[in-house]
Structure 1
């Protein structure tokens, strides 16, 4: 009888669907069944109907939806999960081939802490939700994966599942079967293309080579961050580590604006636009000394100046790690954000972001590529998020690293403390989209040749 029921369930799937080829089945229900809602609430279970154990960290599930506008940005949240919300990740992406019912997707992943699914086991409830960043009402009746009648769990082929990058369950909207970056991408870096490469092989923040190589160590006052804080060039230092020179950004405070010292280094020229940007960055979850808890932001980003509120030629592309939360988040989270524009007062932002709520302490390879169609982010060689054409840059930008405190509310102590962010190298290749493997090969070729700096990118 069980075999007959299983056969009936599979027969009910669309003929083009990929159905449990690796034993993975996704079940769905909604707890917000209205045609419109403050937030969409896709609740999921992932079940292993196969005969071998499956590590959940190898599984990705996608829920497809139609954006409420081209510029709409969304935020993901996990309300509750049997596996623990800390072990659930959610990132948003843009479909290469939009349809009438889908041009975006929410991709759900699992950290290694989620463990494995034994044969016959499921994840239990994943009570998930997402909403517009503005909290404007969203329309879900036109969303591909939405099933208003699905108020109890059941197999649902309008969400897809991948195991190690291979589609094993469900049917994506036409022409959009999910694919991860190639498991064996080409590693030979392109031989042409203007480039900036810097191994940060400097003696101190006063080394004249820093300015000669096009960098500025910030000392002027102003935002972002704690009012009254200073930007301390002396806290940008350099040291040898495992045979490479590493730049350290130290941010410190004793709980007052006057005692707070932020750090930033940026290119003096805004001459970087389309192409590949890459860096190896070490994030930290705890201070080097003193009490923990400050709402600190550790970054790698590109940006140009806002010429007027809501100016359409503004551009910014961020990796931002918040080890102690902030901006409404209670704990560590990594954001990638692509900006169209914003207004500082009253605050209004037009952007798209992807995020992952877990610790990113340690060294990470960060890559963002910008072509004529989209912006794509990678972390440690894995796809992190793709953002749409509405957020492409109109003008060139600078390249920046900074570390700063959002406010002083996370840790009220007046005991001094200091946080470190480290940077190994930075690479930009103009007008070429490189894979993470090609980035690694190019950096390796610079180091094999003993070349610590090159800048052939023409001025804007």
Structure 2
């Protein structure tokens, strides 16, 4: 959802000069979403409310493909009986030869704690390295129109080959007030953490009391507030995609992977990484593979950005 870091900074500076006149959105406490993706098939996973993106469009390479071929389930070599969900994106440097991956859950998430255990990678599993690829965990509401005043988005985005103004591996954390895609105009607050993050990590976002806090494992990365605080229910998403401006020249196919062990959301509660891990382990000990006790909102989840 971003271009160069200088554009992000412009949005942040504009944001900082504005007084927040919107009351922070809230949601009732108590509901939980948990899924450890130990499903027998993608069809079973979708029966638990997950939507695999099929439609073309933003973000990433224009006219790239999306769809079920980008997903697979695998036994976890480190934990017998556990399974992992794998997203796969590939490109040969052309639109026709590019496939990206995205899946999402229902649009019913607002205040509370979001967490996921994911595996980032710094190199493709096949082909030469160098493409600007984006590995993510985020929440988002639909952008109904340019500079939509109800738009909400919270991002963990890892770029192992740099991009958006960063020369090398960087994790971006961005909270959005609104955006116009063409021509680009962004209003947000952001932070970035340089350095390789190859391997497994717990990504966490705390949303409550008008503030958004981003965590990587036990490290606090950023706190955002004001007009970027989410105003409407969002869907919960993961995607793996290539920036339009950062592809290597057309040629050999390059294949990238991002694995997901589990995802967790506690509605209306602010939990630490340690508390989330304790709740996930308790669910696993009870042999709970999937749980969703968060009330539906009736809002559509287009899973298309």
Please classify the TM superposition score into its range, dividing by the shorter chain length.
Answer: 0.7 to 0.9
Q: Which runs of no fewer than 5 residues in structure 1 stay unpaired?
A: 1-74, 77-130, 139-191
Confirm whether residue 234 of structure 1 aligns to residue 69 of structure 2: yes
Aligned residue for 1:81?
A: none
- C-alpha distance in 1 between matches for 2:11 and 2:233: 31
Aligned residue for 2:85?
A: 247
TM superposition shift of 1:329: 2.0
Confirm whether residue 311 of structure 1 aligns to residue 148 of structure 2: yes
Pairing of 1:33-432 with structure 2 (within 5 A): 133-134=9-10, 193-205=30-42, 207=43, 209-241=44-76, 242-243=79-80, 244-267=82-105, 269-407=106-244, 409-432=246-269
Closer, same or farther: CA 132–234 of 1 in aligned 2, 3 Å = closer
Contact 1:229/1:258 (8 A) holds in 2: yes
- C-alpha distance in 1 between matches for 2:84 and 2:12: 44
> Secondary structure of 2:10's partner?
coil
Contact 1:204/1:236 (8 A) holds in 2: no
TM superposition shift of 1:357: 1.0
Closer, same or farther: CA 193–135 of 1 in aligned 2, 3 Å = closer
Higher RCO structure, 1 or 2 (CA under 8 Å, sep 6+):
2
Q: Which is greater in Rg? A: 1
- C-alpha distance in 2 between matches for 1:271 and 1:433: 17
TM-score computed with the length of structure 1 as normaliser: 0.58
TM superposition shift of 1:442: 0.3
Aligned residue for 2:275?
A: 438
TM-score computed with the length of structure 2 as normaliser: 0.86
Q: How many residues align?
A: 276
Q: Looking at secondary structure, tell me which structure has more strand per residue.
A: 1
TM superposition shift of 1:137: 8.7
Per mean C-alpha deviation after superposition, the further-off stretch among 404-413 and 307-316 is 404-413
Contact 2:151/2:178 (8 A) holds in 1: yes
> Secondary structure of 1:133's partner?
helix
Per-residue CA deviations over 1:23-53 (Å, capped at 9, x if unaligned) read xxxxxxxxxxxxxxxxxxxxxxxxxxxxxxx
Deviation above 6 Å: which 4+ runs of structure 1? 135-138
Per-residue CA deviations over 1:79-116 (Å, capped at 9, x if unaligned) read xxxxxxxxxxxxxxxxxxxxxxxxxxxxxxxxxxxxxx
> Secondary structure of 1:425's partner?
strand
TM superposition shift of 1:411: 1.6
Contact 1:372/1:389 (8 A) holds in 2: no
TM superposition shift of 1:255: 1.6
Closer, same or farther: CA 253–350 of 1 in aligned 2, 3 Å = same
- C-alpha distance in 2 between matches for 1:394 and 1:414: 44
> Secondary structure of 2:100's partner?
strand
Contact 1:297/1:320 (8 A) holds in 2: yes
Contact 1:246/1:423 (8 A) holds in 2: yes
> Secondary structure of 2:168's partner?
coil
Contact 2:30/2:268 (8 A) holds in 1: yes
Q: Which runs of no fewer than 5 residues in structure 2 stay unpaired?
A: 15-28, 298-305
Contact 2:121/2:197 (8 A) holds in 1: yes
- C-alpha distance in 1 between matches for 2:198 and 2:58: 25
- C-alpha distance in 2 between matches for 1:393 and 1:327: 23
Contact 1:255/1:408 (8 A) holds in 2: no
Closer, same or farther: CA 409–273 of 1 in aligned 2, 3 Å = closer
Per-residue CA deviations over 1:105-145 (Å, capped at 9, x if unaligned) read xxxxxxxxxxxxxxxxxxxxxxxxxx98129999xxxxxxx
- C-alpha distance in 1 between matches for 2:245 and 2:142: 27
Closer, same or farther: CA 221–375 of 1 in aligned 2, 3 Å = same
Contact 1:275/1:369 (8 A) holds in 2: yes
Contact 2:8/2:188 (8 A) holds in 1: no
